């Protein structure tokens, strides 16, 4: 098993020259998960280690062999700051795919609230950036008319 947090140039060269098996992918993903849980993204050496690990695995061509949704599943439970630093070290397009996969895996990640939830054929619950919900009711879908019903009490709305 490769220790992703302490990856060496010889590890990068070895990874460049081989196609990963399922067990090697699982080993790398487990090492990433461990690193993100144990190394503190403190804005200093810990953050540098996380960032450079993602960069090193990119140099080794690992991201060409690991699907974005596999990586998303592994890093979604990591602390926010560690996950953020790790994503910054990934190639931009791949990082976007991983971020999207994290957001679309919402049932497995209960801490993520979807922005829209279908309640019925004409009703949608919509959440704002703070997670507050409002009900969107389509009055006449043919005319594309609709209404938003804010379930907060008036005193809560005025407090904002």
| Domain tally, the chain | 2
Same domain, 33 and 75: yes
By the 8 A CB rule, do 126 and 136 touch?
Answer: yes
Cβ-proximal residues to 71 (8 Å cutoff; 6+ apart), any chain: 29, 32, 63, 98, 101
Residue 110 lies in a domain: no
In a domain, 111, yes or no: no
- Whether residues 128 and 82 fall in one domain: no
Q: Exposure string (b/e) for 10-44, b if CB count within 10 Å is 16 or more?
A: ebbeebeeeebeeebbeebbebbbebbeebebeee
Tell me, yes or no, whether 93 and 124 share the same domain: no
Does residue 154 have a pLDDT over 60? no
Print the domain residue range for 37: 4-104
Question: In terms of domains, do 23 and 55 share one?
Answer: yes
In a domain, 109, yes or no: no
- Per-residue pLDDT for 115 more than 70? no
Q: Give the whole-number percent of the chain exceeding pLDDT 70.
A: 64
| Same domain (yes/no): 8, 75 | yes
Contact at 8 Å (CB) between 34 and 16? no
Instruction: Read off φ and ψ for residue 116, nearest 5 degrees.
Output: -130, 135
Spatial contact of 157 and 150, defined as CB atoms under 8 Å apart = yes
| pLDDT value at 144 more than 70 | no
Separation of alpha carbons 115 and 29, rounded Å:
29
Looking at the fold, whether 23 and 83 belong to one and the same domain comes out as yes
Residues 91 and 136 in one domain: no
| Closest among 104, 22, 11 to 57, alpha carbons compared | 11
> What local confidence, expressed as pLDDT, does residue 131 receive?
47
Residues 17 and 45 in one domain: yes
- Does the residue 25 lie in any domain? yes
Record the tokens describing residue 122, joined without a space: 């004409």
Residues 27 and 97 in one domain: yes
**Average pLDDT for 78-86:** 91
User: What's the mean pLDDT in 100-113?
Assistant: 60
Does residue 84 share a domain with residue 13?
yes
- Give pLDDT tens digits for 25-73: 999 999 999 999 999 888 889 999 999 999 999 999 999 999 999 999 9
Q: Quick one: 13 and 80 in the same domain?
A: yes
Task: Tell me the pLDDT band of 108, cut-offs 50, 70 and 90.
Answer: very low
Q: Which residues have CB under 8 Å from 134's CB, separation 6+?
A: 125, 126, 127, 128, 148, 149, 150, 151
């Amino acid at each position: 098993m490769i220790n992703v947090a302490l990856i060496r140039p010889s590890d990068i060269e070895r990874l460049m020259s081989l196609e990963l098996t399922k067990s090697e992918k699982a080993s790398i993903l487990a090492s990433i998960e461990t690193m993100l849980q144990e190394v503190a993204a403190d804005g200093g050496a810990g953050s540098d280690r996380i960032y450079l690990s993602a960069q090193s695995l990119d140099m080794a061509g690992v991201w060409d062999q690991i699907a974005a949704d596999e990586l998303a599943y592994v890093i979604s439970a990591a602390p926010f700051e560690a996950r953020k630093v790790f994503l910054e070290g990934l190639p931009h397009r791949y990082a976007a795919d991983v971020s999207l996969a994290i957001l679309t895996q919402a049932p497995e990640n209960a801490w993520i609230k979807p922005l829209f939830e279908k309640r019925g054929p004409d009703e949608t619950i919509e959440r704002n950036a703070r997670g507050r919900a409002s009900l969107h009711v389509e009055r006449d879908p043919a005319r594309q008319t609709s209404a938003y019903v804010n379930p907060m009490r008036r005193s809560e709305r005025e407090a904002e």
